[in-house]
Structure 1
Amino acid sequence: MIIPRHYENLHVLHENTAANRSYYIPAEERFDDLVENREHSGRFQLLNGMWGFRYFDSIYDLKDEFYREGYGEEGFGEIPVPGCWQNYGFDSHQYTNTRYPFPMDPPYVPEENPCGAYIHHFVYEPDEAAPKAFLNFEGVDSCYYVWLNGSYVGYSQVSHATGEFDVTPYIRAGENKLAVLVLKWCDGSYLEDQDKFRMSGIFRDVYLLKRPEQGIFDYFLKTRIDGQQAEINVSFTFFDEKMPVKCSVYDQEGSLSALAEDVPGDDGISLTLDQPVLWNAEQPFLYTVVYECGGEVITDRLGIREIKVKDGAVLVNGTKIKFRGVNRHDSDPVTGFVISLDQMKKDFQVMKQHNVNAIRTSHYPNAPQFYQLCDELGFYVIDEADNESHGTNDIYMEDDHEAGRRERWNHAVSDNPAFTEATADRAKLLVERDKNRPCVLIWSMGNECAYGCTFEAALAWTKAFDSTRLTHYESARYRDSNKTYDFSNIDLYSRMYPPLEDIHEYFAGNPEKPFVMCEYCHAMGNGPGDFEDYFEVIEQYDGLCGGFVWEWCDHGIYQGRTPEGRAMYLYGGDHGEYPHDGNFCMDGLVYPDRTPHTGLKELKNVNRPARVVSFCQEKREAIIHNYLDFTSFKEYASVAWEVTCDGVCIAEGTLEGDAVPDILPHGEAAVRLDFEVPEAGKCFLKLRYIRRESTRLVAAGTELGFDEIPLKNEDGRNQTVLHLLKRCGETCTGSREPGLFTVKEDDRRLYVSGPDFAHVYNKLTGVLEEMNVNQCRLLERPMEYNLWRAPTDNDRYLKLKWQKAHYDLTYSRAYQTDYSVTAEGVRIHSVIAILSPVIQRILNMEADWLIGADGRVDINLAVKRDTELPELPRFGLRLFLPKDMEDVTYCGLGPVESYRDKRRASSHGLFTANVAALHEDYIRPQENGSHDDCDFVTLTGRRAGLTAAGDQTFSFNASVYTQEELTEKNHNYELVRSPYTVLCLDYRMNGIGSNSCGPRLLEKYRLDEAEFTFGISLIPEGKAE
């Protein structure tokens, strides 16, 4: 079948489409169910459902004119619309990050271009009052040709934009045949190189709108706040003739707030509201505006707000704000790009529950209802055009270096005049459709295209068309340095993943433009670990208006469950595709099913609505700062508090009524508490911020975050630990005669035994091989000195250094071992090195072991590290315990996993768990489930138990998997449980950071000390049969 080659013609982006306009649903009368049930409008006909479908590997395989009436459809199956054909067995899934999935030869795409032919039969009932019919496609990837009843209607592209066709000449009463041909690739694919799975088909709603002969075609509503009044100005365009319009504005109680009746449409409409209620993300108050014209009624929502820049800061309604945002893709593990209202609302609910107030629509416009929900539920939006040509940076260069690559990035597309119309078209489609949405504060021209004449044109048009919003384009930084460009229409200075020092350097220059981090804290796998550090710098500068975490959800393809019931999610390369970028799509704050990662829990507490900024223990007085921008603290939250001592709650209470201060936004006030602090014990005061009243997304009583404050006393040590060590010390000191210890020795081992225990120490490795108490075996394998961890996604660059240093292949060698028997026990001293193949010694140790009369083992290690080698993943001991030792009790940070730089979701307490429950099931296996700042940990089984404790806190990890298993396997459903319970006791672990796509781990979190000491005691227990 011969079709016009519009799909490779940059001069034909659309054919026979209607002019761009804002989104709305017309009706014959006022219609308020704008989002949930738009199909209830009598002027709206939804065409979704099962459509006829046939897939072709190449456009040249499509021989028949399938769109003709009377064409036999025997070769067609069915597919749901909306739907992505890869999810139904056609073609194959492919994930790439930046690389094009075809040769970079703009504007040409492969000749063997896959395509899908769609046929849909529907019945149409004409409406005499609305005889015109407009066919709408809200999302089709990548381009499409449309026929109705055998007649050619038109062509369009831009996958995430609405294409509208006037089909009045072709539609008829009764049955109609709609035919659509969708191509997998087109010239527009060069501008849609977003970091996502590449899917194809009609993935958003298709519908008809019935319209009158004459009436409103489009409108643009703007608001301006002037003291205690708001001015509303609406401009209109019409089908043909200019018509009178009646405009009514109602408040949320349904009372008429303003009316402009029979105003000539060519003059627009101006209305004034006295004492208006303003819209913001915390208090998303919406009016209803009703337009009546030409026998048609258009109902919309109106949020009164202003956004502007003043003194280098971003202001909403005159107030400085912070974006505590996320980047969100349309992604579902089952439906792919197809996102229902329920799926959207699930995302919004989890976001609100975790203190997210802003969304960047990375990197394309979302469905229209998305913005209506953001209006209603309260989210600030950076609305981004469907522009990304990242793959033009993947050019072959003989002298390949990053600086040179960035100089040439813009040559193929963004500074190529041939692409100016296409680039600007995408900005216009975005702005025109969403211009009446109050949630949209910022227009973003796209993502990672570099800069040039195409974006100069897009920005100039955008700023001229809409001066009420700000403009954004991060990739303006990447351009040919030999040319001069116009940046005057960009309002914000934007960066991705900036190191903290770059932010400080920017503000040292007293800049005029606000700084926004459009992406930061890459949330891939176990991480991010630097939320708190970025929060501190965000609060330091008024001009740093916040940031958007990359990204919201893991992109995975659900593949069912294993026979054991484990969910299987696939990522790049799992479908045999080339090119692909592996699990780089697994970089979200939530799993594909929207279960929160621990990183989202971390973000929640970092972005809590209030914080204790100072505390006076003598007065029991906490100064609380309200980080909300528009809401008083008392209106928003209540406070519950508790005091713990050695992990146990000893006092608690709530602040209600007048006890809760009415802290104004950005203000501070004192709260007084009444509690006593014990003279001894490790004590903490915890203040929990509780949602006072229910909203649509957050129930009353939901915890919004907490503060934890260490309390001072005479002896701040954990008394349980002191008791453990003292009890064992008393047993070991003077209560046993040296003769009660038996020590045997051979060339390899020391055999140390007492009345109730028998341990074996390896003189060649410097560790215990066996621990036995009351004939209970506690070690299934010899202990190990442990430097390795299963690399996290944020270790993806550092692990190359670690592997070069062979940290994954280390072993210990003891060069000298001496022992003596004293009243305290058997003292063993070893001189040890940690070695690995090929390279020099990694570190040297002096190890002192004391085996007491009850079998307790005290270990003290003095370590000197070779500083030529990279920082260590971790340092500690690894124990392989019996599998049934699976009940864990620990006193430290919990219950959420914690690390040196990722610990704000955890607080100190006494916790119990099954060892399997401590595992955080990242889709690509990696280090997980550790707990930092631990006083002691106890693992118990049917007969045996082991407690680890020390004078200094430590980190532990108890797991049903070995670190080798976590390192080697690519998917969590492939993991095989160890025959042991694996216990790692760490002096420290390297921090987590966000280096998977961000700056290097901050120095203060690196395990790179030249020298350090580590001490820990192992206290075994065993029950005789």
Structure 2
Amino acid sequence: MIIPKYFEDNHTFGVNDEPMRAYYIPTSTAQNPDWKCRQETDRFFLLNGDWSFRYFDSIYDCQEAFYEEGYDTRHFDTLPVPSNWQDHGYDIHQYTNTRYPFPFDPPYVPHENPCGAYVRKFTYKKPEGTATYHLNFEGVDSCYYVWLNGTFIGYHQVSHSTGEFDITDALREGENTLAVLVLKWCDGSYLEDQDKFRNSGIFRDVYVLARPENYVRDFFIKMQLKDNYTAADVTIPLTFAKESIPVSYKLTTACGCTVAEGVSDGNSIAFSASDLTLWNAEHPYLYTLTLSTDNETIRQRIGFREINIKESIVYLNGQKIRFRGTNRHDSDPYVGSAVTLDHIRKDMSLMKQHNFNAIRTSHYPNAPEFYELCDEYGFYVIDESDIEIHGVVNLYNLNIWKEGKKNPFPPFLSDNEDWTESVVDRVQKNVMRDKNRTSVVIWSMGNEAGYGCTFEDALAWTKSYDPTRLTHYEGSMHYPRNPKRGKTDFSNIDLRSRMYAAIPEMHAYLDNNPDKPFIQCEFIHAMGNGPGDIEDYYQLEEQYDTFVGGFVWEWCDHGIYMGTTNDGRKKFYYGGDSGEYPHDGNFCMDGLVYPDRRPSTGLKEYKNVHRPVRVHLEDAASGTYILQNNLDFTNLKEELYLTYEILQNGMAVASGEIRDTELLDVAPRSKKTVQLPIKPLENGACSVIISSHQLHEKPFTPAGFKLGFDQIMLNENCTDTLTALLDAEKASADSCSCAANGTASAITYTENDRVITINGADFVYVYNKLTGMFDSMIYKNHSFLKRPMEMNIWRAPTDNDRVVKRLWYEAGYDKMTQRAYNTTIEAQEDGSLKLHTTSSMAPIFRQRFLEIDAEWIITPDGIVRSSMEIERDAIMRGIYSEYFEDVTENDNPFQANEAFLPRLGIRLFLSKRMNQAEYFGYGPHESYIDKRRASYLGKFTSRVCDLHEDYMRPQENGSHYHCEYVSVADDSRKLTVYNEQPISFNLSEYTEEELTTKGHNYELEKSGYTVFCIDYRQSGIGSGSCGPQLAKEYRLDDTHYTFSFHLKPEIL
């Protein structure tokens, strides 16, 4: 072996690397102080680009001293830096959530430990006035050895931390050769078991910093706000490379006005600043601080803010705040974790456009420039250390989930003194680097790693070093119960943090004088179609100031771009698609945006739930409304204006703007009763949509940008369209009744053992006596059914059905059969024909499940009215509860979860040419009983193909809730479904069977039909993929249902 085995020594985290310091970019004093990016500065030398590269399957295969001067690398490949080598054909992609990709044998890793040899030749000219030089690596996974011009420089691990080396003695003027050996795994990999693709290589920037002989090495900007948050005392301890030297400082406003200036006193700077503009996420105002010696300047942009806790409530600058946050991984479908600044800005742009104000860096520190952008654009950051030890939950025969209420994280590492130094080192690397970032308001010790002495020491150090920020560690709830150990110390944790806590559990904590603010560091799991419970958690925030918000899991789907199909569909791979073991399938596809950053309907749902203004109706007749300002620091009149649209029967008939600053004078987090020029209309269904818009341009949003909306129903009328349909039906029935007096029925029929053939003046319908459904509907010589009609309770399981779907399969919901027992035929006085059928549904090898008493009335003009009384078998309803008899309702994700129905309705198969839809219901986005806040009640038209929401793993999608009517048509015919009691519907090119069985969206094959599901209702969506069970009020779990609808065929 050509290297020492530092990679299996859990007490060696670095060799010859520099002590951690705050991040900054030094420049010469002659540098233009208004530089925009660090590449523009004169003492920063970037080494990114094409490097010579050779991959080895094992570190033991790397036998040649490739780092020596003169070594011939012409047989090497070329690899861009930064990058992940898996994205360039080396090794394989591997996604795993909790399972280690190697045996659990700390600190040892497999002999077959892949590695990459990197070589970069570069020409360097030492800048004038410099004498020392430092080589920086901002991110390398997992550990690396460095040589310059054949000289060993050092070793570093902790993948997401900066490694800095003094290369003064080895660096030459002119040509240099830098060599780096990167190993896929090291002892530190046991502490980096994060839920992500396990990428390897140099994935962040590499650069050289040129410094004078003596310089400011480190500094810590500390501030104490005073005078009712209008002024501050600032102290800045300084550390020098050698002896202390004078340091000039200057603090200026955003427009360049000087606030304070002077010269340091020994090893510190102290000054006061007054008339301050404070920093917060809504108004991220930054000052510029420069620190200058004779031949070097350091520029830092800083904000003035103070975060603290009073009576278990979090305050920023004396104001209560809420975190509307998301967990964000570095993940790009094209470059993996080697994300660019443009990529980060894109993420932040989408976050701001969708009303986020906070980011948790799950589960490792981001690149330093990320935090500068958070300072600039206004995000509260939970800065998380590079620690996760989740794989211990998978160790054999520990039975941890059964004992989960005690400690699901075996403390083999977290409560092991031999690993304390390693855990503390990782926390220190994070805190020391990012301590001057204004946006960082909470230090997080890591994620899902258990608790014990290692974290107690890390928390104690953090609180001692930086008492100005809050501390967080959700893993503290998984503390060891070792009676020999003594009392566990939680005193240095400021927040009560949970993941995916169910609402009843939160009530129990928040109702009992909580001793700490409650935060959900992960919740409303955004996997696939979801989340569906965002509004419920918002209402909890409204109820309790001690619930300070949470962070959605997670921001993006983690997919690997693998080209396109022959018909141009993008292919994104997830776990298992590369043949790796172990893997966790599509559990990485759990974001609010798709891999390519297209917003999902879940993101749109989040945006409108967390709109800055909510409007409540007090009295429609007088136009009295209540404006609720949900912003923490902004008066509505300063930033927003309102628009309104009055809808009649789902269509806009009047509109206006509200820019009156007196009316909009609503203080942060307060309400005001106002008069608005909005009055209800008498006819038809009437509602008003009141939207909030941005008054001024901001970095990611133009003036006029829509921030959210409320829809307020101004009457309880149904639409004129529904009224007309019902009235026309009644009028036709009355007419036919008169015409039929004393004459034969307008409808005739024939029957045999299997079917009833029904003949009207313009139609021929075939009713199947064996199923109780129509086999065929021909109206005016146009066929409307391409396959027989059928009852339907199945939906392609969503990712949030991950737990309950096992019960669905066990119950046989996906294998239902239908049979009819008896059908009677009765002619009506109005000329209609009434069929009455008793039938049932039963899964193969299970008992009868649904008893159906159905009445079908066929009118002389071809309209079909259906009314069903449906009884659900009580035994089937609860038969599977004992699966979870030892687990309480609040335990996640394994809870007592009865096999409630996925949906209840009928399914039609229409001609694929019938592809134009019109409906009145919740649209334009897919909508469900618990996921509809991004939509509104209106009249919409769409192509059937555009109703499909293209989730990476196919599943139920595209349904529309609370619809009065829906029609689907082609150029020659139209079928309309309507009902007095609203229904749900789904129109798709794909069958539920296709969506159920295919693993990727690009594998879907169109059915050749327009598949039309007419539903009494569907169960809600929830966030049960990694969260609480679906709330009872959203389940389709009754024992009796009354389901009715009307079918009206037309020729156009």
Distance 1:220 1:146 in 2: 29
Which whole-Å CA distance do the structure 2 matches of 1:212 and 1:722 have between them?
83
Give, in whole Å, the separation in 1 of the partners of 2:288 and 2:934: 40
Query: What corresponds to 1:598 in structure 2?
Result: 601
Instruction: Tell me how far apart the structure 1 counterparts of residues 565 and 745 of structure 2 sit (CA, whole Å).
Output: 58
Amino acid at match of 2:449: C
Q: What residue identity is the alignment partner of 1:983?
A: F
Once the two structures are superposed, residues 132-177 of structure 1 have per-residue CA deviations (whole angstroms, 9 ceiling, x without a partner) of 0000000000000000000000000000000000000110100000
| Structure 1 partner of 2:827 | 821
Contact persistence 2:400–2:409 (CA under 8 A):
no
**Partner residue in 2 for 1:635:** 638
Matched-pair contact (CA < 8 Å) for 1:31–1:298: no
> Counterpart of 2:772?
766
1:784-839 residue CA offsets vs partner (Å, 9 max, x unmatched): 10000000000011110001111111121111110111233110000111111111
Residues 520 and 111 of structure 1: CA distance in aligned 2, closer, same or farther (over 3 Å): same
Deviation at 1:725, TM superposition (A): 1.8
Asked if 1:889 corresponds to 2:895, the answer is no
Q: Is 1:235 aligned with 2:241? A: no
Structure 2 residue 493 is the aligned partner of structure 1 residue 490: yes
Alignment partner of 1:832 is 2:839 = yes
AA partner of residue 896 (structure 1): H
Q: Contact 1:528 / 1:902 at 8 angstroms: preserved in 2?
A: yes
- 1:567 equivalenced with 2:570 (yes/no): yes
Give the aligned partner of residue 991 of structure 1: 1020
What is the percentage of aligned positions where both structures have the same residue?
51
| Alpha carbons 1:393, 1:406 under 8 Å: kept | no
Shift of residue 294, structure 1, vs aligned partner? 4.0
Structure 2 CA distance for partners of 1:573 and 1:861, relative to 1, 3 Å: same
Asked whether 1:811 is paired with 2:812, we answer no
Verify: 1:854 aligned to 2:861, yes or no.
Answer: yes
Helix, strand or coil at the partner of 1:554: coil
State the distance in 2 between where 1:404 and 1:527 align: 26
Shift of 1:689: 0.6
Q: Which stretch shifts more, 24-33 or 889-898?
A: 24-33
SS in 2 for 1:939: strand
1:374 CA drift (Å): 0.3
Q: Shift of residue 128 of structure 1?
A: 4.2
The correspondence of residues 82-101 of structure 1 with structure 2, limited to 5 A, is 82-101=82-101
Query: Per-residue deviation at 1:680?
Result: 3.1
Quick one: distance in 2 between partners of 1:34 and 1:645? 55
Residues 1:753 and 1:965: Cα distance change in structure 2 (over 3 Å)? same
* Cα distance, 1:405 vs structure 2: 9.1
1: CA distance, partners of 2:632 / 2:479? 37
Paired letter, 1:376: E
Render the CA deviation track for 1:907-939: whole Å, top value 9, x for unaligned. Answer: 011100000000000000000000001010010
Shift, 1:734, TM fit:
3.9
CA distance in 1, matches of 2:713, 2:439: 41
Match of 2:885 in 1: none
1:677 counterpart (654, 665, 680): 680
| Alignment match, 2:714 | 711
Aligned partner of 2:1038: which letter?
Answer: E
Shift of residue 406, structure 1, vs aligned partner: 5.8
State which of 553, 557, 576 in structure 1 corresponds to 2:556.
553
Unmatched segments (≥5 aa) in structure 2: 878-898
1:354 aligns with 2:351: no
User: Which letter does structure 2 place at the counterpart of 1:839?
Assistant: R
Cα deviation code 1:282-305 (max 9, x no counterpart) = 000000000002411000111000
Indicate the larger mover: 751-760 or 481-490.
481-490
Matched residue SS, 1:426: helix
Tell me, in whole angstroms, the C-alpha distance in 2 between the residues paired with 1:691 and 1:51. Answer: 46
Once the 2 structures are TM-superposed, how far is the Cα of residue 712 of structure 1 from its aligned partner?
2.4
Q: Is residue 959–residue 981 contact of structure 1 (8 Å, CA) maintained in 2?
A: yes
Alpha-carbon distance in structure 1 between the residues aligned to 2:31 and 2:310 = 39
Which SS does the other structure have where 1:917 is aligned? helix
AA partner of residue 257 (structure 2): S
In structure 1, what residue type is equivalent to 2:993? E
How much does 1:942 deviate? Answer: 2.6
Tell whether the 8 Å contact from 1:408 to 1:480 is kept in structure 2 after alignment.
Answer: no
CA distance in 2, matches of 1:299, 1:345: 22
RMSD: 1.3
Partners of 2:817 and 2:844 within 8 A in 1: no
Conserved? CA contact 1:888–1:937, under 8 Å = yes
For residue 618 of structure 1, report the CA deviation from its aligned partner: 2.3
Measured against aligned partners, the alpha-carbon deviations of 1:629-667 in whole angstroms (never above 9, x if no partner) come to 001111121100111121112221110234642111012
In 2, distance between residues paired with 1:633 and 1:57?
60
C-alpha deviation, 1:985, in angstroms: 0.6
- Whether contact under 8 Å (1:661, 1:670) holds in the other structure is no
**Maintained 8 Å contact 2:401/2:408:** no
1:239 alignment partner AA = A
Contact 2:215 2:240 survives alignment (8 Å): yes
1:620 aligns with one of 618, 623, 627: 623
Q: 1:769: how far off?
A: 0.8
1:265 match: 266
Moved more, 673-682 or 869-878: 673-682
| Equivalent of 1:698 in 688, 691, 701 | 701
Q: Distance in 2 between matches of 1:515 and 1:572?
A: 33
Deviations 1:476-505 (A, max 9, x none): 111222342111110100000000011111
> Relative to 1, partners in 2 of residues 1:528 and 1:179: Cα closer, same or farther, differing over 3 Å?
same
Do the aligned partners of 1:925 and 1:972 also contact (CA within 8 Å) in 2?
A: yes
Superposition deviation, residue 840 in structure 1:
1.2
Q: TM-score, normalised by structure 2?
A: 0.96
What is the alpha-carbon distance in structure 1 between the residues aligned to residue 407 and residue 282 of structure 2? 42
CA contact (8 A) 1:280 1:305 kept: yes
User: What residue number does 1:742 align with?
Assistant: 748
- Residue 640 of structure 1 contacts residue 653 of structure 1 at CA under 8 Å; is this kept in 2? yes
How does 1:236-251 map onto structure 2 within 5 Å?
236-251=238-253
Cα separation, 2, equivalents of 1:643 and 1:659:
23
Amino acid in structure 2 at the alignment position of 1:969: K
Matched-pair contact (CA < 8 Å) for 1:770–1:781 = yes
> What is the match of residue 1009 of structure 1?
1038
2:981 equivalent among 940, 945, 952: 952
CA distance in 1, matches of 2:490, 2:13: 27
Which 10-residue stretch deviates more, 699-708 or 188-197? 699-708
Which residue does the alignment assign to 2:758? Answer: 752
- Paired residue secondary structure (1:739): coil
Conserved 8 A contact 2:195-2:588: yes
CA–CA distance in structure 2, aligned partners of residues 188 and 51 of structure 1: 26
Contact 1:614 1:624 in 2 (8 A): no
Q: Give the Cα–Cα distance (whole angstroms) in 2 for the partners of residues 685 and 408 of structure 1.
A: 50
Distance 2:678 2:79 in 1: 65
Cα distance in 1 between the residues matched to 2:311 and 2:34: 39
Q: Counterpart in 1 of 2:117? A: 117
* Stretch deviating more after TM superposition (43-52 or 22-31): 22-31
Following superposition, the deviation at residue 404 of structure 1 comes to 5.8
Q: Is the 8 A contact 2:680 2:687 kept in 1?
A: no
Deviation at 1:224, TM superposition (A): 1.2
TM-score by length of 1: 0.98
Match of 1:802 in 2: 808
* Residue identity opposite 2:856 in structure 1: W
1:62-73 matched pairs, under 5 angstroms: 62-73=62-73
Is the 8 Å Cα contact of residues 323 and 545 (structure 1) preserved in structure 2?
yes
- Give the SS at the match of 2:259: strand
Label 1:355 to 1:399 Cα distance change in 2 as closer, same or farther (>3 A): closer
2:166 matched to which residue of 1? 166
Letter aligned with residue 270 of structure 2 = S
Cα deviations across residues 169-210 of structure 1 (Å, max 9, x unaligned)? 110100000000000000000000000000000000000000
- Are 1:902 and 2:931 an aligned pair? yes
Tell me which amino acid in the other structure corresponds to 1:193. Answer: D
Which amino acid counterpart does residue 700 of structure 2 have in structure 1? L
Greater alpha carbon shift after TM alignment, 581-590 vs 842-851: 842-851
Q: Are the equivalent residues in 2 in contact too, given 1:307–1:317 (CA < 8 A)?
A: yes
Cα deviation code 1:254-276 (max 9, x no counterpart) = 11111122x2232x111111110
Q: 1:223: which partner in 2?
A: 223
Q: Which 5+ residue runs of structure 1 have no aligned equivalent?
A: none
Which residue does the alignment assign to 1:313?
313
